[in-house]
Amino acid sequence: MPLSYEGKNVLVTGGAGFIGSELVVELRKHGADVTVLDDFSFGDLQNIRKLKVKVICGDLREEEAVVKAAKEQNIIFHLAARPFIPLCYQRPKEFFAVNADGTLNLMLATLNEDLDMIVHVSSSEVYGTAQYVPMDENHPVNPHSTYAVSKLAADRICFSLYKEHGMPITIIRPFNTYGPRETHPYIVPTVISQLAYSNKLVLGNLESSRDFTYVGDTVRAILIAGQCKQAVGEVINIGSGKDVKIRDLVYLIARLMGKKKIEISQDKSRLRPFDVDRLCANYDKANRILGWEPTISLEDGLKKTIDWYLTKGAEWPWERNPFYIELLKLSSS
């Protein structure tokens, strides 16, 4: 479907983050007047500083900031969250407060606003390990982490308010998204940054498999959902329909970076207490309702990501974040 956000007031929560900043870029291209709400604990201002957008520095837990941001908006894309799973084991209360209570704050702030659409961006982690593949939206939910539980709680808040108050909410569940401007040390940016300086890698679980989607494809689905009335009240998966074992992903990235021989050692501290073994999306519903399908292959997406990293001075936003700088120092000491 043709996309136009011309003349629309659009709020993007978490708009300085990885997926959020890509979404803001595309919204500006399509004529939207964009407001970004971000607390900048992990979002990076450099991701959006060249864009003509209104920025509100605020936390989802701060009702006043949320009400201010939601005022007179036409469309809201809700991406703000604490998403980095390894961190949720140390900060479960914070993850719930931001991801679940923060989502409730946002939805209640918009209850009396005349909105066209709210797109709540969830996570495939709510499903837990695949009981069958590919995983459709009817797959049982069995979250394996505090993060996943908090995201599922946010999903149910949104769905309940849609049912109880008729709020125009769509829930999008991306599987693993990768690409430029990553604000957390997930597997793809971690491997790329380690291989940029050495043939030796220190990683966690190499035997799990994930469904990887390039950020441009994920954002395109979110943009379409923001204008698709048929998507209201629906949960929609976004993924490639193919999964790859992490070990194979590592060797693919190494090949694309010209590394003929690599050494991998396992850091047991990187292993999750209750890991998800496999995720693989069924995106039939996205195709049927949104007319969406992935267009960028894993290899092409990784090439784009590697090229961006190397041309941007071999640095991810998370590598200049004081929190992760300190964390990396502690893990290497």
What is the C-alpha separation between 83 and 187, in angstroms, rounded? 14
Is position 71 within any domain? yes
Q: Which residues contact 57 (CB under 8 A, 6 or more apart)?
A: 38, 39, 40
Residue 157 lies in domain: 9-182+213-241+277-295
CATH number at residue 121: 3.40.50.720
Is position 194 within any domain? no
Q: Which of 316, 300, 87, 281 has the alpha carbon at shortest distance from 191?
A: 316
pLDDT for the residue 326: 82
Is position 320 within any domain? no
Is position 331 within any domain? no
Is position 258 within any domain? no
Q: What is the pTM of this model?
A: 0.96
What would the mean pLDDT of 101-109 be, rounded to a whole number? 97
| DSSP bridge partners of 135 | 281
Is position 138 within any domain? yes
Q: How many domains does the chain have?
A: 1
Examine the pLDDT at 271 and tell me if it is beyond 80: yes
Q: Which of 101, 63, 67, 79 has the alpha carbon at shortest distance from 16?
A: 79
Is position 170 within any domain? yes
pLDDT for the residue 331: 58
pLDDT for the residue 61: 97
Q: What tokens were used for 162?
A: 């849609």
What would the mean pLDDT of 11-33 be, rounded to a whole number? 98
pLDDT for the residue 333: 47
Is position 230 within any domain? yes
